[in-house]
Amino acid sequence: MTDSSSTVRLHRVLRAPAERVYRAFLEPDALIRWLPPYGFLGTIDRMDARVGGSYHMTFTNFENGHHHSFESKFVELVPYQRIRMADTFDDPDWAAEMTKTIALRTVSCGTEMEILHEGLPAFIPAEMCYLGWQESLLQLAHLVEHEIPGDAETPS
């Protein structure tokens, strides 16, 4: 659902522990697997997953090769509970700073996730942002909602 032309709110419950969901936002290999919406490939050329750090990501349209890049700065990181980021596009014609707040809460069947994406510029319709998030969250669920037989231990 959208609250206004510049804000999108999403809610999901994932059958996965909060630790796994949180990690999916901080590990480059995980992010490029789930964050780009359908039809896009993602690359990350740098990642510094700490408050004040950031990552730089490019989304490339698989069909036509067009791409756009952005920087996501970590404003707040509360392990397994909250992530707040500030995003800016590389393209100066897309001058805007958006914020994303992801709140995680452990529930009986996994993790409840609330996402607040604020400051959408006029050139990104809220309904398109919402649709993209829905696609990304389905891919996130496929990544984190798993039980791999015989692989209960996380490699060190």
Residue 59 structure tokens: 């989304």
In order of their start, the domains of the chain are 2-144 (3.30.530.20)
Residue 92 has a pLDDT of 80
User: In b/e form, how buried is each residue of 92-110, taking b as 16+ CB within 10 angstroms?
Assistant: eeeeeebebbbebeeeeeb
The predicted model scores a pTM of 0.88
Q: How far apart are CA 80 and CA 60, in angstroms?
A: 30
pLDDT digits (tens, 9 = 90+) for 28-58: 999 999 999 999 999 999 999 999 999 999 9
Query: Which residues neighbour 31 within 8 Å (Cβ) at sequence distance 6 or greater?
Result: 24, 25, 42, 44, 55, 57
Q: Does residue 143 have a pLDDT over 60?
A: yes
pLDDT, tens digit, 9 for 90 and up, residues 2-21: 444 589 999 999 999 999 99
Q: Are the beta carbons of 132 and 35 closer than 8 angstroms?
A: no
Over 70: is that where the pLDDT of 154 sits?
no
Nearest Cα to Cα of residue 122 among 94, 101, 90: 94
- Mean pLDDT score across all residues of the chain: 91
| Residue 98 banded pLDDT, cuts 50, 70, 90 | very high
